Amino acid sequence: MGLKGGSCLIRMARSAFRSFHWAVTAFLILALIPALHHAGLQFNIDWVQFLKLYWVGQAIRSALVAVILYLVGFPLQETLVPLWERYCKQKGRFLVLAAFTVYMLWWFGWAIGLVLIVDTVAFLEVFDRALGDPARLCRMAVKIAVPAAYLFVGLVLVFCYNDVIASLEFAEKYSPLLNQADRFLLAGWTVSQIAHAIMSRLPLWVYPFLALIYFRVFSQVGATLILVALFGSQKRALQFVAALLTAYYISLLVFFIMPAANPYMLCPGHFQRLSSSLNLYTIQQTTALKARLLFAHKLHQPIGTDYFIALPCMHIAMPVISLWFLRQWKRLLVFVATFDVLVVAAILLQEQHFFVDLIGGVMVAAIAIAIVALPKMQSVPSHGPN
């Protein structure tokens, strides 16, 4: 009886531990207005920017990446063959698709146009496989929308408290210390020195390419959410989101205790080395300026998507968590891991994080996975969406 009682208590403790993120999210919501008031900030969130970036921009790009990962990780008999056979049986679809392709490319250009074309074909294929059943389509949409909505709420909170902490503490306070840690780990070199030595020998087009790689991490996260929800369960997708938010909440705590910003903010003459025509130039300059204005209490803009936290690197933590939840699909795992190697290069060569931040990112991801996913392992079916 004692063993059974002890086992029951352990299961209850593990369940409470896994669900702790809900309590943290609720606390952050309730404490938000008092925290903003304490930091001298108004409850003024740029909802248009958040909604446009998350529910439109990231949703569209995540759907595209999900299609790519689906094609890479699953057999052709399950992916392209049914699509091809359906179009061959109904050849009029080819004409409609050709006309739609021309219109999309003409109206939106090749970059956005191709994304919309692929997303539209994918949506129609899902519709066909669901036999147009509204109830089944609704279930599939809910499986994605519920965890996506929870992630959205959590991210808005993270950006809000990111500004609160930057208003109370100098965001670059511990950046010199992290720079010194990098010198120790990198045999006397800093990330900025390595980036300058390499990038000075490369053509200008490498900068936008690295920026593209860097920001596609968010699409990888969105695609992982879609695949886990459709080919697993809503519960598994919520577990994935819980791991992400747990990592973000730990990052906020670390930032509060040890505020540190990106290496480029320490680098003298950094912006003289970059072309002002680059999107990266504008993003980095704006981020550095806003962090300093927040601490000086001279920034009166709505809270947006500016992110100042260097340690730990969430651009490493997010891919690591994604890889954990994609690990059952071996080919897909190798493909995504290869892309994430490029992410590491993009982070360092753009001076977005210190090297020690990357180590911190891996550690935070491991902690988040251990808290959310390890106590109760679940098998995830590999069959198609239902």
Quote the radius of gyration of the chain (alpha carbons, Å): 23
What integer pLDDT is reported at residue 260 of this predicted model?
Answer: 95
What integer pLDDT is reported at residue 267 of this predicted model?
Answer: 85
Could you read off the pLDDT of 74-124 as tens digits, one per residue?
999 999 999 999 999 999 999 999 999 999 999 999 989 999 999 999 999
Given a cut of 50, whether residue 176 has pLDDT beyond it is yes
- Tell me which residue of 314, 309, 311, 143 sits closest to 217, measured CA to CA: 314
Given a cut of 60, whether residue 280 has pLDDT beyond it is yes
Name the band, by pLDDT with cuts 50, 70 and 90, for residue 16: low
Q: Which two tokens stand for residue 40?
A: 């001298």
Report the alpha-carbon angle 252-256-257, nearest 5.
120
Mean pLDDT to the nearest integer, 248-271: 92
Alpha carbons 146 and 239: distance in angstroms, whole number: 12
Mean pLDDT to the nearest integer, 40-60: 94
Alpha carbons 163 and 306: distance in angstroms, whole number: 8
- For residues 149-169, one letter each, b for 16 or more C-beta atoms within 10 angstroms of the residue's C-beta and e for the rest, the string is ebbbebbbbbbbbbbbbbbbb
Q: What is the pTM of this model?
A: 0.92
CB-based contacts of 97: which residues, under 8 Å, 6+ apart? 87, 121
Could you read off the pLDDT of 91-104 as tens digits, one per residue?
999 999 999 999 99
Mean pLDDT taken over the chain: 90
What integer pLDDT is reported at residue 131 of this predicted model?
Answer: 84
Q: Which two tokens stand for residue 235?
A: 């519960």
